[in-house]
Amino acid sequence: MSDTEQPQIPHEIARYYEEVAEERRLLQGPSQLEFARTQELVLRYLNGPPATILDVGGAAGEYALWLAAKGYVVHLVDPVQRLVDEAQRRSDASQSPIRSCRLGDARRLEFADDAADGLLLLGPMYHLTQQAERLRAVREAYRVLRPGGVMFAAAISRFASALDGVSRDLFADPAFAAIVQQDLSQGQHRNNTEKWAYFTTAYFHRPEEFRAEITSAGFKCELVLGIEGPGWILPDFEDRWADPRKREVLMQIARALENEPSIVGLSAHLLAVCRKEAVKS
């Protein structure tokens, strides 16, 4: 990507990923449940290797390296240079490297039409806060996927901050309460404090809204699943996750509730499983 085509990221989002260790997020706290469940769901619906996968918004490469180790050819794209550099460093040290790590924009992918068998879009859909921009990203994903290819797109639930605030007792801070009020009414998450624990600029989806956006771009949206279920809000999550029996209970309940319409939004993250339908002869 040339200097004149650098990804356009709001300042506060760029600052967040420069200052917060996103490269460690999936390995600590309730994000461990998110990571394990997302891996499980991706393998459930993704065709086996060898296949070419694009990890768009792939951050420091946790998913890309995991898929590369399973035999997939993986190309990582992210708009934050620090994270791309970290992904490249990890790839260079791996026995199963990522095929390429590059700076890029989900709305303007530098890949040919029909280039990939699968695509992960696990971050852009919540950091693109305007619907028109999200649709641009989904249409780009559709363009670069081969007919029959599958896309996994993640969103943050409309109710994530409210539930997180109850779990961590954050409502004593009026600034947090105001953030949640806007989340619930508009879906537009804005953190004007210096507390990165309240996250950064994002859009939080309702499950039915997320499905509608995906299908409007041409995909067949097979499922919109809740990733974590209720386990992520437990105050004693770390103790439960450290116990193999209790960990498996968290996973089992997440599986059991993943497609229950009345409770999908209880998960912090939603996962849409979508296909680019094959051309009929």
Confidence at 269, pLDDT banded by 50, 70, 90: very high
Q: Does residue 142 sit within a domain?
A: yes
For the chain, what is the domain count? 1
Is residue 110 over pLDDT 60? yes
Give CA–CA dist 138/142, Å, rounded: 6
Segment 189-194 mean pLDDT? 96
Q: Does residue 43 sit within a domain?
A: yes
Give CA–CA dist 162/82, Å, rounded: 30
Q: Does residue 164 sit within a domain?
A: no
CATH code of residue 64: 3.40.50.150
Q: What is the pLDDT of residues 43-96, one digit of tens each?
A: 999 999 999 999 999 999 999 999 999 999 999 999 999 999 999 999 999 999
Q: Does residue 188 sit within a domain?
A: no
What's the pLDDT at 7? 80
What's the pLDDT at 2? 46
Asked whether the beta carbons of 229 and 260 are under 8 A apart, the reply is: no
Confidence at 8, pLDDT banded by 50, 70, 90: confident
What's the pLDDT at 161? 98
What's the pLDDT at 79? 97
Q: What is the pLDDT of residues 125-156, one digit of tens each?
A: 999 999 999 999 999 999 999 999 999 999 99
What's the pLDDT at 278? 80
Q: Does residue 78 sit within a domain?
A: yes
| 3 state SS of 279 | coil
Q: Does residue 184 sit within a domain?
A: no
Of all residues in the chain, the percent with pLDDT exceeding 70 is 97
Q: Does residue 265 sit within a domain?
A: yes
Q: Which domain holds residue 217?
A: 3-156+206-275
What's the pLDDT at 3? 43
The strand pairing partners of 116, in sequence order, are: 145
What's the pLDDT at 5? 63
Tell me the two tokens of residue 168. 């961590």
What's the pLDDT at 18? 94
What's the pLDDT at 182? 98
Q: Does residue 72 sit within a domain?
A: yes
State the Cα angle at 97 between 93 and 101, rounded to 5°: 100
Give CA–CA dist 145/149, Å, rounded: 6
Q: What is the pLDDT of residues 26-36, one digit of tens each?
A: 999 999 999 99
